[in-house]
Structure 1
């Protein structure tokens, strides 16, 4: 998977970029796990009704040198990308997504791109 400097979740109107102030310890503080290659991966369930068996999972991967990342909302098995903004039960999922994004913005990991 190719990393990019800016990413938009499928169906969202906000584009995010990595903050120049992002640090590896801040990634670990919000729940990112370091892979064997040095990349950082975060997987969060977006289903507000079932945190243990979510229908949709937010997956964010940041490359080892903190210059690029990708972000997707995936089905529970991780094989298909989902547009959470078009699902009938999307209100809770969008709320969970915004909460996660705000936590990363507050920690100077991500920042929204100004239009």
Structure 2
């Protein structure tokens, strides 16, 4: 009787240990996922802060420098002054290529003698 009790206690302890191990390992997996997401968001925050700095510099230049306004208008809006020569470059278009048939080669029904 005492031996059966010890075996049942050992089995119960193993079951409890298995459940605990499963819960802990699942928690560590979630923790790792959260840490990776946090690092990704921190990197994105750094990128956005750099972008804000660049935009602030551009805005300040536009407010204070007329040449910056002209440069931006030329680059972004295609603005030209009277007397400027405009050259438009186009990409050549090629005619569509004929479709290539794929599949087994047909066998002739009749062959002519040589």
TM-score (norm 2): 0.18
Pair member with larger Rg: 2
TM score, norm. by length of structure 1 = 0.18
More helix by share: 2
**Where is the strand percentage greater, Structure 1 or Structure 2?**
1
